[in-house]
Structure 1
């Protein structure tokens, strides 16, 4: 048996050396094009490499938590657990999709990207002092795919096998499909310690403090109420180019609140330091008071280069009443964005029309030759409007008078087999009334929905709002137990394998995935596969636009709105680099100012 083991090891070594012979080590990977930073770069352009270490950044979160395991679908995970983990590669925040070595010292892959080899840094250590090895990498992917959230099964579906010819080298072999993003995807994964998790239940929520290789460890916590992380003095990667100028706070603290209004008042009272505001009403009316007047709290709107994705009313098409796209389109006429923006949002938002809004991947013109080459083979499987019209969500004059829009919606409902009878919309065959529930977790969103419900009632549709706590909401989303929810499909500047989790038929009935709509559409599946396999940036953009059109014209959602800025407020006791990254807010590059320095500004 010992001889056989030696033979197997030698075969693996031979196979790996044969693979490596055709390629050269690199310090990073770019999805398309060249890397911005050379092999000898000392730090990213958007950091201050001399930033001092010290102080505390206090933030907030909503609801509660009962677990530190963010890799499974059970439990409510505490904020900030990502601070405890490192990945093989680090993603630059000023490039669309490029990665540079973190746990991995170098990376090797062939032109066709059918495999990728990472050489680990010998200095890499977990927080308990144990080295990070190739065995930990293999264990991570094995346990995520077998016991982790269903997302991982889809995200890593292209991995065929993983080999470790020695403790510092790990090679991923990919399946025959053309998937150029896979080397970057495996580079993103948080690497878990095998020696810790083999003695702990991975598939159950737990408040046992885990071992990680990242810059922070859990310092203290009060279950469900607060959690604090401390910067590791023994953090192995502090001087790496990808870490220099990051992780400058000695303490990171998150306090939990059950009420958003109370949370905002706590911020103004100095209970925590920083807010990223998502409510236009609060931003316009609530950020006032002595601390704002004298400059102790600063308020800014910062532009960002990220696609804003799609925030929307999401139909659960598993429900029979929403199975017909004519019904879904009809209900969209009840949402009067222009009136809502004027009267509720202080004209802060832009109507969303695309699943890739605020990017070149949005379908804003009729399809060109390259797109048509993808769409023509699918002509019999997609709505005809895909070829002849540019999708725009319904618009109004903002007056609140939408009788014409409601009539158009009624015509669609009638064509789908519904009729207006005794002031109710009923099924013309069964007499069943059209009734559904909108599930919410944020009470503040009730004011946005209320005007749409009044319009739906004019169409004879009965709508209920149900507001539940965070734990119930998460569980109901995971099990697809809803009629309609308000949700979002976020997009990056380089979409790829996550699109499978959003839209692919294979995941429509798998609890815990992000295919909330329940899409089972072979045309969508085909375009998702084409996007993932895009060999260059131009092909990626073309595939994204084609996918966008098919999603738009199937009316899977009622698009809402977006804003292409970060709205932030923070107490004036922090320094930040002069250069901001294009694709991130960059709070992980801030630092605490000395108390006397912050005070002298006033």
Structure 2
């Protein structure tokens, strides 16, 4: 989806494009206003606005938001440093997603896109009116600069745009991307999600009188083309964004009824409990609650009871997202290389007890890398999916063909004891034995122990029971919670035994799968192959997904890959909810119907204080 990582980052499409075109001369290329992965685009050329917005939403007021952690850079490109929240308010992409369609996007900086039938290239035509905040036009040179620097400086984006061989100016407002392989249908769309930066600004002189360096972090407020600018900040603590009166795209059809708050301020907290107290006190306007027990027990303060704080549970944002949230062992470490060891760890995780006693039965156990979507594998493979797996039979675990994946079930002392016995048996098969009260490697005598690295203390209450269960079978699992900067640096350099991970999947998985599970990404610091997966069968399946000639073939390959990932036990699946839990003070409002596939926050919300 995309990207520096954001709400719409990495949103990719299968590109079954409708024949909706912009008026062009007969001898020119045919440019389309948007792309859609499922049928025709909902909106036609000349549309006035998205249906889910309030076109009369007032502009004004202040939105106070909170986040945990800190920040030390405004450079949106790099994979180093802690980027300040709110970056998408300043910068823009070539296209913009429609939140009431699955995988559909329309022109933002670009007014259209054109490409040949074999998908060997794609040309974007920039809008003549698109301007940077200093009034200079957005140019093909800016787009080329943004792609080149993204591939050079960010491992995630390097993988994402790996098959884009070059970008070149092919007209006053045209930039053409040439691909190194034909048939990759998603490349035109994910190029539309590329964050575009002003070349002249980044190659100019900074406020300190020295040349800027896009390869370094910076706390100089950057210039963008987006609706907001950074008006003020306190390093690591707060950032205030202010709506630009001179924003070039404020009347654009894809922006009508959006960007309504005059000021948006982010305050950074080091502790989630302190952050919640700031919300209770009214110093923060909006909160998305991710702790089920807090949602069930802590929202009983007066402002909730008298209606000044509104609570909502909505499924919208999760309708098109597959989730894998898991404890992820680092298979680069010797103790996690054997899949039987990794499987044994899952038998020590008692989801049922945790869900009942800590989460008030608010969660469901994840059993797929595409959980919650039609892409999740279930039962035994059949049809084309089975044919694909049979073609690599010697490279995948045999249980892929014989045993549907299921997580162990506990929830009472006897079931947990049985699961722990199974775990001991798996460790024995992998060359371990219990000596006294320690699980040790039979050959080396090395005890089985590892550290679980966490980014926030709120995770400890979910992980501690897992560590206690492991202790019962002689395994020491140490919990270590570190600050945001240290956590980010350690994860980027793969300096951990086990971490808490989450991957979000769109309904059109594609190039990002290389970054998630591909062998090349396993050794590429900064990638999201947190588990260190290096598996030829998975590499082959990723390629099948990316170059699938049609949707049926793509879905079959996705489900086949899901099965192979699960059967190798690369993670200990955790849990998730099908609804987003929102709480906000009544100082703000949103359309009566939120967009089908998004909360629309803060884009389509507005302040009641605005006139």
Give TM class, smaller chain.
over 0.9
CA contact (8 A) 1:47 1:589 kept: yes
Q: Which residue of 1 aligns with 2:74?
A: 68
Q: Which residue of 2 aligns with 1:297?
A: 309
Distance 2:542 2:28 in 1: 31
1:136 paired to 2:142: yes
Q: Which residue of 1 aligns with 2:487?
A: 473
Match runs of 1:143-542 below 5 Å: 143-147=149-153, 149-199=154-204, 200-304=212-316, 305-399=319-413, 401-542=415-556
Q: What's the secondary structure of 2:279's corresponding residue? A: helix
| Moved beyond 6 Å, runs of 4+ | none
TM-score, length of structure 2 as denominator length: 0.92
1:594 paired to 2:609: yes
Q: What's the secondary structure of 1:589's corresponding residue? A: coil
Distance 1:488 1:530 in 2: 24
Larger mean CA deviation between 517-526 and 85-94 belongs to: 85-94
C-alpha deviation, 1:400, in angstroms? 7.0
Match runs of 1:533-552 below 5 Å: 533-552=547-566
C-alpha deviation, 1:272, in angstroms? 1.1
**Which of 594, 602, 611 does residue 580 from structure 1 map onto?**
594
Q: Which residue of 2 aligns with 1:11?
A: none
Structure 1 portions without partners, runs of 5+: 1-19, 598-602
Q: What's the secondary structure of 1:501's corresponding residue? A: helix
CA contact (8 A) 2:329 2:498 kept: yes
C-alpha deviation, 1:86, in angstroms? 1.1
Number of residue pairs matched by the alignment: 577
Distance 2:337 2:534 in 1: 11
C-alpha deviation, 1:164, in angstroms? 0.8
CA contact (8 A) 2:129 2:137 kept: yes
CA contact (8 A) 1:336 1:452 kept: yes
Larger mean CA deviation between 299-308 and 511-520 belongs to: 299-308
Match runs of 1:88-99 below 5 Å: 88-99=94-105
C-alpha deviation, 1:534, in angstroms? 2.3
Distance 2:368 2:313 in 1: 23
C-alpha deviation, 1:23, in angstroms? 5.1
CA contact (8 A) 2:53 2:604 kept: yes
C-alpha deviation, 1:299, in angstroms? 0.7
C-alpha deviation, 1:289, in angstroms? 0.8
Distance 1:385 1:179 in 2: 31
1:564 paired to 2:578: yes
Q: Which residue of 2 aligns with 1:56?
A: 62
Q: What's the secondary structure of 2:195's corresponding residue? A: coil
Larger mean CA deviation between 295-304 and 108-117 belongs to: 108-117
Distance 1:177 1:395 in 2: 46
Distance 1:463 1:343 in 2: 22
Distance 1:334 1:450 in 2: 11
**Which of 544, 550, 553 does residue 567 from structure 2 map onto?**
553
C-alpha deviation, 1:73, in angstroms? 1.7
Q: Which residue of 2 aligns with 1:9?
A: none
Larger mean CA deviation between 469-478 and 362-371 belongs to: 362-371
Distance 1:71 1:573 in 2: 34
Distance 1:399 1:178 in 2: 54
Q: What's the secondary structure of 1:105's corresponding residue? A: strand
C-alpha deviation, 1:79, in angstroms? 0.7
C-alpha deviation, 1:105, in angstroms? 1.1
**Which of 122, 127, 133 does residue 133 from structure 2 map onto?**
127
Distance 2:293 2:387 in 1: 45
Distance 2:414 2:528 in 1: 34
Q: What's the secondary structure of 1:166's corresponding residue? A: coil
C-alpha deviation, 1:469, in angstroms? 0.6
Distance 2:176 2:604 in 1: 32
Q: More helix by proportion, 1 or 2? A: 1
Distance 1:375 1:307 in 2: 25
Structure 2 portions without partners, runs of 5+: 1-25, 205-211
Distance 1:468 1:293 in 2: 36
C-alpha deviation, 1:78, in angstroms? 0.7
CA contact (8 A) 2:58 2:260 kept: yes
CA contact (8 A) 1:308 1:564 kept: no
Distance 2:273 2:425 in 1: 42
Larger mean CA deviation between 163-172 and 408-417 belongs to: 163-172
Q: What's the secondary structure of 1:221's corresponding residue? A: strand
Distance 1:424 1:44 in 2: 61
CA contact (8 A) 1:135 1:167 kept: no
C-alpha deviation, 1:540, in angstroms? 2.5
TM-score, length of structure 1 as denominator length: 0.94
